[in-house]
Structure 1
Amino acid sequence: MGHDRLARLMARGAGFLGCETAILGGAMSWISERHLVSALSNAGAFGVIACGAMTPDLLDAEIAGTKALTDRPFGVNLITMHPQLSELIDVCAKHGVSHVVLAGGLPPPGAIERIKGNGARLICFAPALALAKKLIRSGVDALVIEGMEAGGHIGPVSTSVLAQEILPPLAHEVPIFVAGGIGHGGAIAGYLEMGAAGVQLGTRFVCAHECIAHPNFKKAFIRASARDAVTSVQIDPRLPVIPVRALKNREMESFAAKQREVAQLLDEEKVEMAEAQLQIEHYWAGALRRAVIDGDVETGSVMAGQSVGMVKEEASVADILGQLTDEAAHALERRSA
C-alpha cells in the first residue's frame, strides 16, 4: 500500500524525468561522472552529469561515456557563470541530452530559448520564492529548491522553509524537486505530500559502490556526523563568495587565505569582479579534485551535506535507492493508518 501511494505521489516527477523513481542525483563535481550517473539511471532514478569546470571536449566525452553505460534518460548540470556556457549547450544538443539542469542564478540572455529550442527540458535552481516565480515566467520546465543543508555551494535558507514558502503557491505550475539535507525516506515522503514532484540527493550516493570517489573520501563520509559538515566563511563583503558546505579540515581554513589573496587583487585592480569569482570557482574545483580523486582529505575539499551523518556504509546504488523508497513507503503507510 505504501509503495503504491509513493508511486502515485512520484508519478508527475517520474513522468517529467522519464524514469521510474523521481529522485535526481545531485550533480557533484568529479563525483557525478559516467559511472555514478549511469548507475542511478539504470536503477530507475535519474542521474545528472556535473559539468562544473569541464571544457566542451571533456563534456562531449563524458556524455558519450555515459550513453555507453545506460540507454535510460540522464541530465547534464551546467553552471551559468561558465565562460563557455554557449559551447556546452551545443554539446548537449549534439548528443540529444533530454534534460539540462542550470545552476548559479538567472540564466544569461538566450540560454533558456537555446536549451529548449534544442528539444531539452530545462530545470533551474531557485533559492528564493521571487526567483522561482521569475524563472517560471521565463519558461523553465521545472525547479530544484535546495536548502542550506546541502553540500557544496549553498544558499542562505533551510530546505524546510523553502519548501513551505515555494511548494504551496507554485507546485501546481511546474514540477518542483526538493533538495538539501535529505538522507531518509521519511523526509522524501513528507516533501511529496507537501506537493513536491520528487527530490534530489547527492551526499547519500557518495558511498555507492559505483561512485569513483577515493576510499579516503568515502571513509571521511562514513565517519562524519551532521555537525562536521560546516560552511565556509566570507572574509571580504566586496567579494560575493557563495558559501560552500564541506567537512571540517585544514582546507576550510586555507580558503580564508585564498579569499584574502583574491580580494587584494581586486584592491589593486589587477582583476575584474567576474575574474575574481572565477578564480574562487577554480580554486574549489582543484581542492575538490584533490579530495575526491587523490584521496587527500586534509588539504582537499570534502564537500558534504548535513545528511552525511546518515551515510553509514558503502552500498550499491540500487540498494541505497531501495532503502530510501522502502522508508518513504513505510512513512506513508504509518500516516495513512
Structure 2
Amino acid sequence: MDAQITTSPARIQARQTLQRLWQPGCDFLGTDVAILGGAMSWVSERHLVSAISNAGGFGVIACGAMTPERLSEEIAATKALTTKPFGVNLITMHPDLDKLVSVCLEHAVGHVVLAGGVPTGATIRQVRDGGARVVGFAPALALGKRLVKMGIEALVIEGSEAGGHIGPVSLTVLAQEILPHLQSVPVFVAGGLARGDAILGYLEQGASGAQLGTLFAASSESIAHERFKKAFVRASARDAVTSVQLDERFPVIPVRGLNNAGSRRFLAHQAETLKKFQNEELTREDAQLEIEHFWAGALRRAVIEGDVEEGSVMAGQSVGLVKAVRPVAEILHDLVEQAVDALVARDTRMAQPSLQGNLG
C-alpha cells in the first residue's frame, strides 16, 4: 500500500513540483534537498554535519570560537565521515577570521557562511577568489541588497522564532519584506521551521530552501547530552523565550532558549549588578562585563554536560514540535513527505467543483 501511495501519479507530480520549487537551492548547495542544518555551537560538529549531508541535506560546521587549528581538525574529521557537500559557518567578529577562511579554502570547503555581523568586501572576495561559495545573513531587505552587491551569493533570512542569537523580526514578516524583492540569489528561510508544509509555503513565496536547527539538535546523531534532548521533547513552544534586559544602559544580546533556573537567576544577577552600579560599587564597564560573563560556558554545560537547569538550553520556538529523538534521515524524509502531502491535498481541493457550481 505504501509503495502504491508513494508512486501514485498525484504524488509523483507533487514531488516534481517540490523539486522545481527548491531546485535553485539544491543547485547552489549541490544537494538532493534544499535544507541546511543551522550552525549551532557544540552541536553542529562532525557527526551531525556529516549525518545531514549523507541524508541528502547540507550540514554546516559551527566554527564559533574555534582556533584555525581546531577548525582544520573538525573539517578533516567531517570529510572522513562524508563525501557529500557541507559548509562552515564563521563568525565575522572572530579575531582570526582571515586565517579561518584560509583553513576552509585549504580543505576545499565548498561553501562558507559568514554570520554574526556584516562581512567586509575583502572577506567576501577572499572566499570567492579561493573557489568557495559565500553565504550571508540578511535581517532586512536593504542589507540583503547591499550584501548581494558586495558579492554574497546566497542569503539566509532568519526570524526571531529561531533559537540562539536572534533578531527582532519574525520570519513571517521578513519573508514578505524580502522574498518578493530579492530574487537574484538563492534565499533560504530560517526560524521556527519544523514541518515540510510550512517550508513549502515559503518556497512558493520565492524562497530557494530552508535552514533548520532545533529539530536536528534533538536528532539521534546529535552529540548533545540526552538530558538536553529530553528537555526539547518535553518543551512547548512558549518555553523557548528570549533573554530579558532589565536596563537599557546595560544591553543584553537577545538569545532564545528554554526557560530554566539559569535564565531566572540571570534576571536576579542583572538586578544585583545594577544595584552595585547605582551604589558606585562597580563602574559601568565592570557592571557590563559582569552581566556579559554570566553565561560564559553555559551553552557547553547544557549541551555537553547535560546541565539543563543552570546551563543555556538554546532552542527555537519550533521546539514544541519536537516529539521524539529521531535519526536525521528520518527527519529529512518526513519534511519532504509533508511538503508532498500538502501539494497533493491542495491539488485535490483545486480539482473539486465549487459549492456554487454544485448548486447551479
1:4 matches 2:16? yes
Contact 1:53 1:82 in 2 (8 A): yes
Pair 1:211 & 2:226 matched: no
In structure 1, the gaps of 5 or more residues are none
Q: Give unpaired runs (5+ residues) of structure 2.
A: 1-12, 349-360
Greater Rg over alpha carbons, structure: 2
1:251 paired to 2:262: yes
Which residue identity does 1:303 align to in structure 2?
A: M
Please, which of 142, 148, 156 is the counterpart of residue 144 of structure 1?
156
Structure 1's 119 and 254: CA in aligned 2 closer, same or farther, altered over 3 A?
Answer: farther
Give how far 1:238 is off.
3.8
- How far, CA to CA, are the matches of 1:258 and 1:137 in structure 2? 44
Deviates more, 1:236-245 or 1:181-190: 236-245
> In structure 1, what is the equivalent of residue 236 of structure 2?
225
Matched-pair contact (CA < 8 Å) for 1:29–1:285: no
Is residue 200 of structure 1 aligned with residue 211 of structure 2? Answer: yes
Is 1:23 the equivalent of 2:35?
yes
Q: Deviations over 1:174-222 (max 9, x none)?
A: 1000000001111011000000000000001122111110000000000
1:74 aligns with 2:89: no
Q: Which residue of 1 aligns with 2:5?
A: none
98-107 or 292-301, which moves further after superposition?
98-107
Higher relative contact order (CA 8 A, sep 6+): 1
Equivalent residues in 2 for 1:47-126, closer than 5 Å: 47-108=59-120, 110-126=122-138
Deviation at 1:162, TM superposition (A): 0.3
- 5 Å-filtered alignment, 1:275-286, equals 280=292, 284=295, 286=297
The amino acid that maps onto 1:30 is W
Deviation readout 1:201-256 (Å, 9 max, x if unpaired): 00011221111100000000000000000000123424443300000002213434
> Hey, what's the Cα distance between the residues in 1 that align with 2:179 and 2:63?
28
- Conserved? CA contact 2:54–2:84, under 8 Å: yes
TM-score (norm 2): 0.87
Instruction: Give, in whole Å, the separation in 2 of the partners of 1:109 and 1:287.
Output: 34
Distance 1:255 1:77, change over 3 A: farther
Q: Aligned pair in 2 of structure 1 residues 284, 69: CA closer, same or farther (>3 Å)?
A: farther
Distance 1:82 1:257 in 2: 30
**Which of 301, 305, 311 is equivalent to 1:300?**
311
Deviation at 1:128, TM superposition (A): 1.1
**CA shift in 2, pair 1:284/1:126, >3 Å:** farther
Match of 2:333 among 310, 322, 331: 322
Indicate how the Cα distance of structure 1 residues 85 and 210 shifts in structure 2: closer, same or farther if over 3 A, else same.
Answer: same
Letter paired with 2:17: R
Q: Is the 8 A contact 1:151 1:304 kept in 2?
A: yes
Question: Do 1:53 and 1:285's aligned partners in 2 also have CA atoms closer than 8 Å?
Answer: no
Question: 1:190 maps to which residue?
Answer: 201
Conservation of the 8 A alpha-carbon contact between 2:162 and 2:192: yes
The AA in structure 1 aligned to 2:147 is L
When the two chains are superposed, the root-mean-square deviation of aligned CA atoms in Å is 2.2
Residue identity over aligned pairs, in percent, reads: 62
**Structure 2 CA distance for aligned equivalents of residues 118 and 256 of structure 1:** 46
1:3-42 CA-partner distances (Å, limit 9, x unpaired): 2211111111000001110000001100000000000000
Return the offset for 1:336.
2.8
Match of 2:58 in 1: 46
2:257 is paired with a residue whose SS is: strand
Deviation, 1:286, is 1.1
Cα offset, 1:90, TM superposition: 1.4
